[in-house]
Amino acid sequence: HTSSFWKLDETNNVLKCIVSFAREPCPNFQAVTQSMPMPYGVGLPGQVWKNNAPMWMEDVVHETNFPRAKYADKDGLHAAFAFPIIAAGKFVGVLEFFSKKISKPDTDLLDAFNVVGTELGHFFERRRVELELAQQAALNSYAADIGSAINSVESLSSILKDCAEITLRKLD
């Protein structure tokens, strides 16, 4: 019914919801989900982070370690499961999903989504590397342009002017 992606904020050592989706409106639950940071071991995302393993809750409304319980109850949410996303051996975040039904744990589903979490981690790592390579290529191009400008001029003022122009082009 609704799902959220929680990303690790390493600076503050909490999980923060960076995106949430609901098939039908869940205004109370989504508002608190998007505004409440989740510490290590707290709530479904925090417990998944702590255990580094998928987790299922039959009915979040009655869970003692689920600080969003009253908001889930207001919006009619009950069963939930979540799994970690690991990239290059490092915890990145948690994906969580909720249903309006109370349901028992489905270990096959948890196992399947554990694989999905690993694959998403690979995707995130590939994307991070692609971005780093693109940044490095841009820096290399910038350095080459500056080097050419320095080698082709006759005075310090010309070097400074050419370097400033190159830098401004790279910033645009």
Residue 107: both structure tokens together: 């270990």
Rounded mean pLDDT, 13-42: 92
Q: How many CB atoms lie within 10 A of CB 99?
A: 15
Residue 156 has pLDDT above 70, yes or no: no
- The whole-angstrom separation of Cα 151 and Cα 59 is 70
**Closest CA relative to residue 82, chosen from 97, 64, 103:** 97
Q: What is the pLDDT of residues 94-138, one digit of tens each?
A: 989 899 988 887 777 777 766 666 676 666 677 766 777 777 777
pTM over 0.75: no
For range 27-33, the mean pLDDT: 93
Query: Cα(98)–Cα(108) distance, rounded to whole angstroms?
Result: 17
Phi, psi at 87, each rounded to 5°:
-125, 125
